[in-house]
Amino acid sequence: MAADDKETTKEKRAKAPGLPPRVERALALAREAAAADRQRKGGRWLAILPVSIAALLLLLMMPRATAPDAVPLPRVNERVLAGIASADDRRAAAAEVERLPSDILAIGTALRALNGADVRGTDELGKIDARRQLDGALRDLARRKDVVPDLVALRAIQTRRFLDALRHWERTGETSEDFLDLAGSFVLRASDAGWVRPDRTVLLTDTERRVMFKTVWNVLASVDTNPALAIALDEQRALYAFYIQHPRPPESSRLSLETERLAATTPAACAGVAREHRRQVELWRADKIKRLGAIDPSYPTSYALGVAYYRAGRFDLSADAFTTFIGKNPDGPYALLAKNHLKAALAGGEL
């Protein structure tokens, strides 16, 4: 049969005799009822959907015991740091061109002698004499006014020479006079702390080196309480960020830890030494966190302490710190994490 002779289904339906009017009306009513029922059911599902989402969000927001995994770092304004470094470099360049006053240079000489005493093998009497010379130079300087700009310039030029000597030593291993007097003791202490790699690479960045040197310089020169020579907040943030990322055992416990490590001959003893080492490291970090919190109100000190104490196995102190943080910060950054970590601390770390 040809395709043109075929009748489509639609055409057949059109030619089919219609249903009785009463049946048509009944079918129409049935269709309307079915549509209304579907609409009601759809409305119920739409009403249930927000409730379901809210329940899911509430479940996600409920505290779950989780061990902390990271200590927050302070926020550092890199632009401020760059400006401070640039200003110090300008002061150092000016001091290279125009000789500083003799009383300032006397302090510089005494600082070099005292700072390099350990590297040069100076005995205790020699160290006492170097300290006496520095104290005398500082007393002489106190007799004249407007000495702060000259002291800032002296610190700037010694900072630059320290950085140059340290970079030269890293590249070559050679020790210059500047290295012995300005950078040698720094390398000794950094090595003891584990901050110097076998290839002589010092872990601190250029900024962290600057700030650490300036901090020690201020203490040695007895100007650490002088606001005009104070270390800027962003500089301190940068240094404490390094401390938090690279914790170490306190110097007072290093010898005992090394003795215990050498004496450990069983797996259980070795594991015990490792636990004690980790505890000492985290307690040292907790001390740095406290010091940072004392100078930087924006830092989440209690939260960071909770993490450090948890890692140290001091779950009681960790729970106290997280509780303090939650009390002061019920919402916002770290709030939910603090609740999760608090639950883990209260469980004694048994997850």
Burial 13-47 (b: 16+ CB within 10 A, else e): eeeeeeeeeeeeeeeeeeeeeeeeeeeeeeeeeee
* Pair (204, 302) in one structural domain: no
Domain of residue 340, CATH code: 1.25.40
Q: Is pLDDT at 56 greater than 60 in this prediction?
A: no
Please give the mean pLDDT across all residues of the chain: 86
* Pair (238, 281) in one structural domain: no
Q: Which residues contact 30 (CB under 8 A, 6 or more apart)?
A: none
Specify the higher pLDDT residue, 49 or 324. 324
Q: Which residues contact 328 (CB under 8 A, 6 or more apart)?
A: 302
pLDDT single digits (tens) 227-263: 999 999 999 999 999 999 999 998 888 888 888 888 8
Under 8 Å between Cβ of 150 and 120: no
Range of the domain at 134: 74-246
Under 8 Å between Cβ of 276 and 283: no
* Pair (227, 279) in one structural domain: no
Q: Is pLDDT at 21 greater than 90 in this prediction?
A: no
Q: Of 230, 246, 262, at which residue does a domain stop? A: 246
> Residue 261: what pLDDT?
86
Give the Cα separation of 111 and 133 in Å (integer).
Answer: 9
Q: Nearest Cα to 151, choosing from 187, 106, 205?
A: 106
| Radius of gyration of the chain from its Cα atoms, rounded to whole angstroms | 36
> Residue 25: what pLDDT?
63
Which of 105-119, 159-173, 254-268 has the highest mean predicted lDDT (pLDDT)? 159-173
28 pLDDT tier (thresholds 50, 70, 90): low
Against a cut of 0.85, is the pTM above it? no
Q: Does some domain include residue 9?
A: no
Q: Is pLDDT at 63 greater than 90 in this prediction?
A: no
> Residue 55: what pLDDT?
44
> Residue 59: what pLDDT?
40
CA angle centred on 195, ends 193 and 198, rounded to 5°: 115
Q: Which residues contact 135 (CB under 8 A, 6 or more apart)?
A: 222
> Residue 20: what pLDDT?
59
Average pLDDT over residues 3-27: 52
Q: Does some domain include residue 328?
A: yes
**Percentage with pLDDT > 90 across the chain:** 67
> Residue 57: what pLDDT?
44
Under 8 Å between Cβ of 110 and 123: no
Give the Cα separation of 202 and 189 in Å (integer).
Answer: 11
Q: Which residues contact 331 (CB under 8 A, 6 or more apart)?
A: none
Half-sphere exposure for 335 (CA within 13 Å, toward CB): 9
Number of structural domains found in the chain? 2
> Residue 351: what pLDDT?
59
Q: Does some domain include residue 259?
A: yes
Specify burial of residue 101 (Cβ count, 10 A radius: 0-12, 13-18, 19+): middle
* Pair (83, 231) in one structural domain: yes
Q: Of 183, 211, 246, at which residue does a domain stop? A: 246
